Amino acid sequence: MADRRFRIVICRGPECGDRRGSAALHEVFRSVLEANGAREHTELVWQSCFGRCTQGPNVLVREIVAAQPGALVGSGFAALPGPRGLTALYNRMDAARALRVVVEHVNGGQIVRDLIERPGIHPHDPVASNRKDS
Ligand code: FES
């Protein structure tokens, strides 16, 4: 995977940062990237909020993909998005999950699907029913 580059974006918004301790996650990721030989091909940055606050701390892992020639159309107001690469937003991150993300996603090239929740779904919530009793 050394030929692929990634950006790890850690949320430090008010919920992920202050209440759920994402500041410590930054150091965890730094250490795990070093220990697994991934620091050279991975950027580690912050984001203010992903809008998924109740599922934090949230961490986006995005493959950095070079723009294809001719991929952008227009003057910047009507540009088509470039290729997204191997990208996932991981929820409820901690040190153990950070290790899995680096080993499996960044180094292994596989999205770690069991660390991704659907928006607004809490794993301990009862399954909502859409049935209306008449
Ligand atoms: S504070 Fe992290 S998603 Fe909003």
Q: 108-128: b or e for each residue (b if 16 or more CB lie within 10 Å)?
A: eeebbeebebeeeeeeeeeee
Say how far apart CA 14 and CA 48 lie, in whole Å.
Answer: 8
Token pair 């995977």 is found at: 1
Q: State mean pLDDT over 21-35.
A: 95
Q: CATH for 5-66+83-115?
A: 3.40.30.10
pLDDT digits (tens, 9 = 90+) for 69-118: 555 544 444 444 556 789 999 999 999 999 999 999 999 999 999 999 99
15 Cβ closer than 6 Å to some ligand 1 atom: yes
**Which residues is 8 bridged to in the sheet?**
44, 61
Report the separation in Å between the CA atom of 28 and the middle of ligand 1, taken as the mean of its atom positions.
Answer: 18
55 Cβ closer than 6 Å to some ligand 1 atom: no
Phi, psi of 46 (to 5 degrees): -110, 155
pLDDT digits (tens, 9 = 90+) for 33-83: 999 999 999 999 999 999 999 999 999 999 998 765 555 544 444 444 556
Token pair 């991975």 is found at: 42
52 Cβ closer than 6 Å to some ligand 1 atom: yes
